[in-house]
Structure 1
Amino acid sequence: MLIINNYDEFAAHAGKELGVSEWHQINQQQINQFADATLDHQWIHVDETRAVEEGPFKSTIAHGYLTLSLIPYLWKQIIDIRNLKMEINYGIEHLRFAQPVTVNSEVRLKVKLVAIANLRGVTKANIGIELEIKDQRKPAFTGEAVFLYHFIS
């Protein structure tokens, strides 16, 4: 795990891969709980029988936004940013969903520090993100997560 204590330590990794998370399996229970939380009960996600019989993937698939919601959990497996007053999820740029994640697939996050800037004491980090699917050529998604870090002076 990469440990970062301040802006200078973070900036030293600009343009470099920061690492990859552990594999995480997305099961039907997690998909159903996400559907309940977001009120998105589209059959391709929650109706296992119909998904097998009628769906193009012959199984249910995870919501795209479920896969995105794993970013903070998987990110924390890669990097430990210390000495913070606050951190903010600022945005996601250039996001593209490349392939659906079928139920019981394993995914992991691969990250790179694309850009970093010191904005009057606030660190803005653009992190290249790719959610890999085990045994699949194409990722679930690619893009850039943007975080703001307020380091303790």
Structure 2
Amino acid sequence: MKVVDFLKHKREILAQHPFELKDWLSPAIRDYWREFQQKAHLHPLLGRVLDFQADQQLLQQQAASQAQAVNSQPVLKENAVELSGEAAALYVALQSKIGEETHVGEWLQVSQPLIDQFAAVTGDHQWIHTDPERAAAESPFKTTIAHGFLTLALLPQLTGSVDEATPEFPSARMVVNFGLEQVRFPYPIKVDSNIRARTRLARVTPIKGGLELLKEIKIEIEGIRRPGCVIESLTRIYF
């Protein structure tokens, strides 16, 4: 068989099975194919294959972002995780709240007995926390201050997440503290200060069996411009 005839034969095969051509190419060639096509005037077959793939991916992304009714229950599919029922409904509802402040807690006074109780539990009796007389004489703050980890330990109370009378997600089977992304303590919380939490919803991600929420929490100190603590907290909700 002549070379010209061989190439024509292969061209006919690829025209009937265009996706086989895609499998032969490296990712770099796929990414830059259109540029090669413009500069070298190569055969447009692969360009049509890649255009078709791009259109299919776009359609899949659009479909994943919309809820569909299945037996009167919404179903969502995002990041290869399929949500249905209450999880899908909550996902849709929370999308509109991303970036918004979702909770402002009640004021809580950080008293010396509260600090002392935390020191007793953790074994952290450093004088800047537990010795008012020495703190008044030697500390730059002129008084005792709360442990940073005490502030973190108060998060459930400050954010209202342990109030069984008014749960944030009443339809959830289980709500789990999954961890912290980042924690900073910009300003010391002095004894007898009043603090409260302000929570903003930053992200909602589908996971197997439920949702993962990233919340940005600022611990506000009454009368102080700077926050006592800034936290990125991960919560997982299971249905």
The equivalent position to 2:231 in structure 1, one of 124, 138, 143, is 143
CA contact (8 A) 2:103 2:159 kept: no
CA contact (8 A) 2:198 2:217 kept: yes
Identity %: 38
The equivalent position to 1:129 in structure 2, one of 211, 217, 223, is 217
2: CA distance, partners of 1:79 / 1:105: 27
Structure-2 residue corresponding to 1:24: 108
Q: Which amino acid aligns with 1:44?
A: I
CA contact (8 A) 2:215 2:234 kept: yes
Where in structure 1 are there 5+ consecutive unaligned residues?
none
TM-score normalised to structure 2 length: 0.58
**1:89-109 deviations in Å (ceiling 9; x for gaps):** 111112111011000000010
Structure-2 residue corresponding to 1:94: 182
Give the drift of 1:28. Answer: 0.2
The equivalent position to 1:58 in structure 2, one of 118, 134, 142, is 142
Report matched runs for 1:108-123 at 5 Å. 108-123=196-211
Q: Which amino acid aligns with 1:14?
A: I
Q: Partner of 1:81: helix, strand, or coil?
A: coil
CA contact (8 A) 2:146 2:191 kept: yes
The yes-or-no answer on 1:107 pairing with 2:205 is no
Structure-2 residue corresponding to 1:46: 130
TM-score normalised to structure 1 length: 0.89
Q: Which amino acid aligns with 1:70?
A: L
**Which one has a larger percent strand, Structure 1 or Structure 2?**
1
Over the residues paired in the alignment, what is the CA RMSD in angstroms? Answer: 1.7
Structure-1 residue corresponding to 2:97: 13
CA contact (8 A) 1:6 1:82 kept: no
**Which one has a larger percent helix, Structure 1 or Structure 2?**
2
* Structure with greater Cα Rg: 2
Structure-1 residue corresponding to 2:173: 85
**Higher mean C-alpha displacement, 91-100 vs 21-30:** 91-100
CA contact (8 A) 2:144 2:191 kept: yes
